[in-house]
Chain A
């Protein structure tokens, strides 16, 4: 079966409806395992104490905040190039989820940073980038809800997402240039190097990242199904009016 079969709303609803419970179960299982393991069965850090355990939420949320935008970029490109409506709605569905992940990453980061750096907020390049990402999400969501005609809204938000992606990457480098920052580098892919992430943290962290991915998939599927039903309602109302 071609992947474009999903683009048919009917097929999408059928297949996503069948897959949803499995993804939900996987999300609950991995999230629960990762978080419980991470919170209760890992040692305290010798420098950071128990505070370090917030990383089991902070790191996956931050990763998903970026991944959600990448997914929106891909689905926007699919809409602009191949005109599959479900793809446009999926991009719309992912935006609030991405915004929420961004906010979670910012808030948990503040909670983590307070005892570590002795400040709630620092104009560190990573923190600043996430704040800017948050603005990108807000603009995207606002544009979707401002335009009434769905075709125009999908086209214009698609253009915004594509152009915005370029500027988001530029902003990331600009902000890095602007301030070298306090935030520690990501250590997750540096196993074996000096000062790596402890193996005791590594496994539960990976499990909760997987859990966040499944959670994101569930949210996007649910919201896309909701948006498809809403479009169908509008289509049926239009039929009522003219029929």
Chain B
């Protein structure tokens, strides 16, 4: 499944933060998004995931092929690690075995009966990322996946991503840390920053922002 994005503009808080974003993500490849804090990496990923409407432009992949992992892990503290994961496995229809396999891949098998509340921040993050494996979807959208992971866990996760790419999947990753992926290209979002921030066309900001003169 190829993800093609063309001339995409995204907005946050009624302002266009990125415009003219274009790239193609082929199967087996990864693309690392870079840019300063606040440039709009999260906004771009959420837009591609279909959670918010794009200002303009095209996104070729259907939302059914995309798996989005946000800052928040979406874990329920009162459920065990395994229960958290099996829930997502049945939502995505990948079955019971998928959850066990994902736990093993993220080296969480020993912790599977612990409540999510009792996991450390890094373990929670690993559990949150294990959810990607049970979605069974080819294109991963990862928002700062390595936050609160230690070096060993980063290497582990890089291995998981590499295996996913080798199996024909692809990944779009917003990160500051080098995952050491040979297959990855880098896209600097700084180039897509509008020269001047402007309100979204058709939004409340634009409707009432009339630079040419005072209202009668």
Contacts and interface: CB of A to CB of B under 8 A. Distances in A.
Interface of A: 9-10, 13-14, 17, 83, 85-86, 149-151, 154, 228-229, 231-232, 234-236, 238-239, 242-243
Contacts, number: 55
B36 interface: no
Interface in B151-210: 196-197, 199, 202-210
B215 A238 contact: no
B205 A235 contact: yes
B14 interface: yes
Contacts of A86: 207
A1 B163 CA distance: 63
Given A151-B203, A228-B215, A85 B196 contact: no
B208 A238 contact: no
Contact of B15 (A14, A229, A242): A242
A124 to B, nearest CB: 42
Contacts of A13: 215-216
A149 B13 CA distance: 7
Contacts of A232: 208-210, 215
A242 B196 CA distance: 8
21 contacts: A9-B208, A9-B215, A17-B216, A83-B202, A85-B208, A149-B13, A154-B204, A228-B208, A229-B215, A232-B209, A232-B210, A232-B215, A234-B205, A234-B208, A235-B199, A235-B204, A235-B208, A238-B205, A239-B209, A242-B197, A243-B196
Contact of B207 (A9, A149, A229): A9
Interface of B: 13-15, 196-197, 199, 202-211, 215-216
B14 A151 contact: yes
A234 B209 CA distance: 9
Nearest to A229: B215
Contacts of B208: 9, 85, 228, 231-232, 234-235
Q: Is the interface of B mostly helix, strand, loop or mixed?
A: loop
Nearest to B209: A235
B216 A14 contact: yes
Contacts of B205: 234-235, 238
A33 B202 CA distance: 45
**Residue picked from B197, B206, B215, most chain A C-beta under 10 Å:** B215
A231 B211 contact: no
A226 to B, nearest CB: 12
Nearest to A225: B215
Given A13-B215, A235-B205, 17 more contacts: A9-B215, A85-B207, A149-B14, A151-B14, A151-B203, A151-B204, A154-B204, A231-B207, A232-B210, A234-B205, A234-B208, A235-B206, A235-B209, A236-B209, A238-B205, A239-B209, A242-B197
